[in-house]
Amino acid sequence: MTFPDFVEAYQWNYRPQHPRRPDWFREWPGGTRMAVMLILLHEWESVPDPVRPMPRGAHHTFDYLALGAREYGARFGIWRLLDVLDRHDVKATVITSGLVAELFPESVREVRARGHDLATHGWDQSMHPPVFKTKDDERNSIVKSIAALEHATKERIVGYMSQGPRPTPNTLEICAELGFVWTADYSDSDVPYIIDVNGKKIASVGYVMPNYTDNNLVPLGLDAGLRQLKEAFDVSYEESHRHPMKFCYACHVHISGRTGMSNLLDQFIGYALRHDGVRFYPCIDIANFWLEHEGQS
């Protein structure tokens, strides 16, 4: 590809090729130097992926074992995690499938009742954006999800992360058209940055790069997983003495909502809060902060 082709393919016409630390960025809101961003993924798969292979020669292939894991997250996991957050008085962002709002609306309402940020994760975790053949198909899925979430909460939804996250070449334009304030689709920068889609500005708050999801930690076991999370936090915290840093940990409610993994999160939050200059921020606070300062240029 020639360089102009790269620009279009990588969407560097919308996203900065070289995200930078702006000169004004000396601290996070409230004078803190380390922003911790917790993302809870409250997902639903209409056709759940098997948690282990189906029996050889299976005639019935709908996996109720996998369905049960998703049901557990919606029935118990999300509530346990909300209680963990309450114990520490920290706020998170819950990124939610539209189907969750339709099937388990009380869980979505409780997220907002406890003061957490709520965003859309598309309609169905079984349908990632790259499978959509047209821009309209992708837009309709997002619009359907927004409608379900807003019907459940009676509040506007302004944040988005695609399933995967795997956006398409159409996703940024759709986000701009729908008036989203932030996206967590990109794992490419230590700091947020502004996406400018034909004059409409969206904050990229980042996903887990260079940090973790619970999927990374589960194979390690609880003790080693917690140690890995703490050690990664320590390295970022040490760097925050030179310039402000962001640390992101993403939890799936059907994984981290289990007792052992929720205890891992509980211990990690307590550990992080024992450090000076550390504060937990939901994605909307990071986005508004960045748009206020950097979005004016």
- DSSP state letters, 63-75: -HHHHHHHHHIII
The pLDDT, as a whole number, for residue 21 is 95
DSSP three-state, residue 124: coil
pLDDT above 70 as % of the chain: 97
* Closest alpha carbon to 141 in 191, 84, 99, 195: 99
The pLDDT, as a whole number, for residue 212 is 87
Low-confidence ranges of the chain (pLDDT < 70): 1-4, 210, 295-297
Amino acid symbol at 127: M
The pLDDT, as a whole number, for residue 2 is 67
β-partners of residue 32 are 28
If you ran DSSP here, which 8-state letter would residue 23 be given?
T
Q: Which two tokens stand for residue 101?
A: 């709002």
- Asked if residue 104 lies in contact with residue 147, where contact means CB atoms within 8 angstroms, the answer is no
CATH superfamily of 31-49+60-293: Glycoside hydrolase/deacetylase (3.20.20.370)
- Asked if residue 124 lies in contact with residue 97, where contact means CB atoms within 8 angstroms, the answer is yes
DSSP three-state, residue 159: strand
The pLDDT, as a whole number, for residue 8 is 85
Tell me how far CA of residue 243 lies from CA of 4, 107, 171, 229, in angstroms: 34, 38, 32, 21
Q: Which two tokens stand for residue 196?
A: 């400018």
The pLDDT, as a whole number, for residue 297 is 57
Q: Which two tokens stand for residue 138?
A: 């992708």
Phi, psi of 36 (to 5 degrees): -105, 125
Write the burial class of residue 241 (CB in 10 Å: 0-12 exposed, 13-18 middle, 19+ buried): exposed
- pLDDT per residue as tens digits for the range 166-190: 999 999 999 999 999 999 999 999 9
β-partners of residue 95 are 41, 119
The pLDDT, as a whole number, for residue 272 is 98
The pLDDT, as a whole number, for residue 185 is 96
- Asked if residue 222 lies in contact with residue 262, where contact means CB atoms within 8 angstroms, the answer is no
Tell me how far CA of residue 34 lies from CA of 18, 246, 273, 275, 280, in angstroms: 22, 6, 10, 9, 9
The pLDDT, as a whole number, for residue 175 is 98
* Separation CA 92–CA 256 (nearest Å): 14
CA angle centred on 50, ends 44 and 52, rounded to 5°: 140
Sign of the C-alpha dihedral, residues 98, 102, 104, 107?
positive
